[in-house]
A and B are shown apart, each in its own frame.
Chain A
Amino acid sequence: MGDEFVEIPIKEEQDVVIARLKGKKMAEELGMKKVDQVRIATAISELARNILLYAGTGVVQIKKIHGEKKGIEVVAIDHGPGIENIELALTDGYSTSGALGVGLPGTKRLMDEFEIWSEKGKGTIVTVRKWA
């Protein structure tokens, strides 16, 4: 059956891999198709790396959703500097760290639902959902 909810602290690179492998496993347990498992794992990888890159540490929560619709919800939380301009951050190619700039807009494309909250000086919370 597997875990219904996990919270993985993101402190170093290994944690990015731990989080995405766990997400893939939970999606698999839910019976999601292979490509969706990989989409979820990829989104988790991007979100977790963003945490390391911009906030240094944070947390990734992964939850199975049951009911009328089955799916996986991922919440990436950090208490980092926050995003100055969310609209800009959601534009392809935009990066404040010299990265490829596909993290947030790319993650949004991989998932079915995407929500983001961020406040300068407080932190960032990204919530994504993928339905089976």
Chain B
Amino acid sequence: MREEGAIAVLKIEDVLFASIQIPLHDKLAACFQQQILEKLEKTGAKGVIVDISAIDVVDSFITRVIVELGHMASFMGAKVVLVGIRPEIAMTIVELGLDLKNIYTALNLERGLALLRQMLPSS
């Protein structure tokens, strides 16, 4: 994948962390999902924290990408927590009528880790 490495996926303790810094287009989004799933398989991580604090806009496309990731990750036994949702983003998500379904949310990385700790059986 040409785009591999465009979004860094790191392992922090026993969860994965990815920060979306650039707008995702179709191919990049698919690459991103694939990268995370492969890393989940390799590491056995049970949680993925996705940071969207640098994203300019959350529209229906990126929502679908994230919700899909949530479904895919759950097949691999992992939960996805979205962090870094800015107030303007929270407002537009609701106004647009977007449903984040199975995606958990937390204010920031620290709270995201705490949430995962709570939800996951001790590893």
Which A residues lie at the B interface, using CB under 8 A?
13-14, 17, 20-21, 24, 34-35, 37-39, 41-42, 45-46, 49, 92, 99-100, 102-103, 105-107, 109-110
CA of A21 to CA of B23 in the docked complex: distance in angstroms? 11
Q: Check B88–A105 contact: CB distance below 8 A.
A: no
Instruction: Judge whether B56 and A20 touch: CB under 8 Å.
Output: yes
Segment with Cβ contacts to A, from B13-21, B59-67, B71-79, B109-117: B59-67
Chain A residue nearest in CB terms to B58: A42
Alpha-carbon distance A34/B96, docked complex (angstroms): 17
Kindly list chain B residues whose C-beta atoms are within 8 Å of the C-beta of A46: 59-60, 96
The proximity string for B residues 46-62 relative to A, scoring 1 for CB distances below 8 Å and 0 otherwise, is 00000000001111110
Q: Is B107's beta carbon under 8 Å from chain A?
A: no
Check A92/B59 contact, CB under 8 A, given A17-B23, A35-B88, A39-B92. Answer: no
Given A35-B91, A102-B96, A102-B97, does the pair A49, B61 have CB atoms closer than 8 Å?
yes
For chain B, the count of residues having a C-beta within 8 Å of the partner chain is 21
Question: Are B60 and A99 closer than 8 Å at their CB atoms?
Answer: yes
Chain B interface helix/strand/loop/mixed: helix
Nearest to A20 among chain B residues (CB) is: B57
Within 1-54 of B, Cβ neighbours of A (below 8 Å) are at 23, 25-26
Shortest CB distance A110–B (Å):
5
Distance of B99 from chain A, by nearest CB (Å): 8
Given contact pairs A38-B88, A38-B92, A49 touches B97 in the complex (Cβ within 8 A): no
Q: Which 10 A-B pairs have the closest CB atoms?
A: A106-B96, A13-B25, A38-B88, A45-B59, A35-B88, A100-B60, A17-B23, A102-B97, A42-B92, A41-B57
Q: Which residues of B contact A45 (CB under 8 A)?
A: 57, 59, 61
